[in-house]
Amino acid sequence: EDLFEFERNIQNSRSFKSFFETLEFNPRRLKSFTKQSLINGSQSEKKTIHRYILLLEAISSGLQTCKSKKIQFILDKRPWFYLYEELGLKYNIQVKQKFIPSIDLGFQNFPLLYFISKYLTKLFVKDSYIDLSKNNLFIEGRGDINLSNDGYHSDYFWFLNSNFPSRKIITEVKTDHEADYFERNNVSSCYLKFDFKENLPFFVNSFKRDYFNEEHKRLFLSMKRYQTLTNYWKAIFLKYDVKTYLTWNKYNETHIAKAAAIEDIGGVSAIWQLAFDGFKVINARYDVDVNYSFSKLSVDIDTAGGSKANYQIISGYPKTYTKDLLSDQAKEIRKKILSAGAKKILFVIDENSIDDDRWHTGHSLQIENYQKPLEFIMTNEDYGLIFKPKNSRNLRDRLDKVTYQLLIDATRTGRCMILDDLGIRDFTTSAPPMLAALASDFCIHGHFGTASFEAALIDKPTIMIDREGTPKHVFYELFEENTIFQDWEKALNATKEFFNSEESRFKVGNWSQSVAEFDPFGDDLGAKRIGDHLTDVHEGIDMGMDKDESLERAAELYVKKWGSDKIIYTNY
C-alpha cells in the first residue's frame, strides 16, 4: 500500500504530467514502462523506494526505545525528494539529502552504444537455429529447459500439450550444449544475433531536457532505456521473423519494452502466470496483448494492481497435467519410504532465501522449515518426510551445520528423501511439487506460495504457515483456521490431529470449498488450453491475418470451446 501511494504521488506531480504532455510522440506502452521503472526494485537493492520505506519502518521501530527524538535520515540526491521528506515526517523523522548530483551511466541509456556492443559481442558467434521459417514464436523462459514430456519442470509445458509446430519455437541459448539439445529435439534456438544496417535509424523521441530538474532527468533516462530496449528487441524479432513473444517474467519493466517491440512489427505479446499473488503486487505488473491466468481471482488481483492485457485468458492451473506422468515414479518413492518403517508421509515445501537477514526473511526461516519437521519425524518413527527444495544447489550453504547434519541423519533412516535434481541450467530443482505430493499423505507449505496448489488440486490435505505475516492475503478470506497456521508448532500439532482424529480429516487442510477459485476447470487441461490458444493465434497469422484479426479469431475459438466466462476482453 505504501508503494502504491508513493507511485500515485509521483504520477500526480507536475513534473510527471508535464513530461508526457510535452512529448511529440508518446508510444502506448511508454508510460507503463516508465511507471514500473520508477517504482520497481526490491528492498535488497540500494536506492529503491521499497528499501527506503523499510528503513523508515526500522528506524521508527527503534525510536520506541530511543531517548533522542531528533532523528535525521540522510539520503543521496534523488528525484521527487519532497515525497521522501513528506513520508519521513509521518514517522517523525527528518529526511535530508546530500547535494551531490547523481550520474546514471547505465549502458541502456545510450541506444546506439548499446546496439553496437550487442552486435559486436555476437558478431563471431555462429547461430544455432534449424531452417528458420516464417512466423515464429520467441519464448523467454525461466531456464527450465526440458522437452521431454516427463512431468518435470519445463518452460515448454504448453507446447508439450498442443500441436504448435516445434520448428517455429525459438529460444535463446547460453551454450553450445543447450543448442545441441534443442537441435536433437527439433526446436529452434539462437544466440540473439541481428542485422545491424537494416535496423537503422533508431526511434528517438525529441524532448527538451532540463539538466537541473532531477525528475525530468530521471524520466528522460527511463525513456532512453525504453527506446534502447525496444529498438534492440525489434531488431531481434525482425532477424528471426518472430510474430509471437511469450514470457513469464512480469517482475520488471523489460517485458513491456519487448511487448512494444513486437507490437511495432505487427506481432503478439503474451505472458503466462507462473505464481499466485494473493494481493496486488506493485512489482508484478504486466502490459501485454494476452495474459494466461489461473482464474478470474488472479485476473482481478492483477488488474487491481495495474496490470493490463487486451485479452485475459482464464486457463486454469497449467501444471496438473503432470499427475499421470509422475504417478509411477511417485509410487516408487512412496514404496521406498514406507519400506523403511514409515506409515504416513509428509511433504514439506520450502522457498529460497538470501544471506542478509536485514532485507529478507533470510536463512533462519528456511532452517526452521527443515529443523522442525526433521525433529518431528526423528521422534515419531511412524512418519516419513519428503523435501522438495526450491533451490537445491545451495541448500547446504543455507542450512546451519546442526540442521544439515540432522537432514543427513534423517535420510540415513530411509524415511526422509530430498528431491534435488537440477536441470540443464542448474537454476531451480527440476522435480515439480506434484511428484512429492503424489507420494505423500499430507502437505505442509512453510509459507504462502503457489507450490501448494499442486498438492491441493489433486485433493491432498495441504496446510500453510504464514510466518512472514500477510494479513491482507486472499487466503485469509478463502480458508478457515484449519488450513493456515502462524508457526511450525501449531502446524505439526494439526498434522498429528489430522492423522489421529476422523473428524479432523475433514477439516485440516481441506481446500474443497475454495479450490475452484484457483482453477475453475479442474480437468488437468490448463497447459493444453494455453498451447491451443497460442496455436490458434499462430495459425491466424499464417493465414494472412493481421495481429488484431488473429487475436479475435483465437478468442472466438476459445469461447466456443470453453465458454464466454473464460475469456475477458479489455481493449485498454
Q: Which residue has the cell 534502447?
A: 228
Looking at residue 10, what is its pLDDT?
96
Looking at residue 571, what is its pLDDT?
67
Answer whether 531's CB lies under 8 Å from 162's CB: yes
CA angle, residues 150, 247, 28, in degrees to nearest 5:
165
Q: Which three cell numbers stand for residue 175?
A: 551454450
* Distance in angstroms (rounded) separating the CA atoms of residues 415 and 377: 8
Comparing 470 with 389, the larger pLDDT belongs to: 470
Q: State mean pLDDT over 415-433.
A: 79
pLDDT band at 427 (very low <50, low <70, confident <90, very high): low
pLDDT band at 198 (very low <50, low <70, confident <90, very high): low
pLDDT band at 202 (very low <50, low <70, confident <90, very high): low
Q: Which of 374, 325, 379, 324 is nearest to 348 (CA)?
A: 374
Looking at residue 372, what is its pLDDT?
95
Q: Which amino acid makes up residue 310?
A: N
Has residue 206 got a pLDDT over 60?
Answer: no
Q: State mean pLDDT over 115-130.
A: 80
Looking at residue 319, what is its pLDDT?
95
CA angle, residues 93, 98, 101, in degrees to nearest 5:
140
Residue-wise pLDDT for 309-350, tens only, equals 999 999 999 999 999 999 999 999 999 999 999 999 999 988
Residue-wise pLDDT for 39-65, tens only, equals 988 888 888 999 999 999 998 888 777
Has residue 211 got a pLDDT over 60?
Answer: no
* Average pLDDT, rounded, for the chain: 90
The pLDDT > 70 percentage for the chain reads: 93
pTM over 0.85: yes
Comparing 120 with 163, the larger pLDDT belongs to: 163
Q: Which residue has the cell 520505506?
A: 53
Has residue 431 got a pLDDT over 70?
Answer: yes
Residue-wise pLDDT for 346-381, tens only, equals 999 887 777 777 887 777 888 888 999 999 999 999
Looking at residue 201, what is its pLDDT?
47
Looking at residue 102, what is its pLDDT?
61
Q: Which residues of 79-91 are buried (b: 16+ CB within 10 A; e: fewer)?
A: bbbebbbebbeeb
Has residue 137 got a pLDDT over 60?
Answer: yes
- CA dihedral sign, ordered 98, 221, 572, 301: negative
The pLDDT > 90 percentage for the chain reads: 68
Q: State mean pLDDT over 148-166.
A: 96
Q: Which three cell numbers stand for residue 58?
A: 526500522
Q: State mean pLDDT over 258-265.
A: 96
CA distances from 288 to 71, 317, 488, 512 (A): 44, 20, 40, 33
Comparing 357 with 2, the larger pLDDT belongs to: 2
Q: State mean pLDDT over 247-268.
A: 96
Looking at residue 194, what is its pLDDT?
85
Comparing 108 with 22, the larger pLDDT belongs to: 22
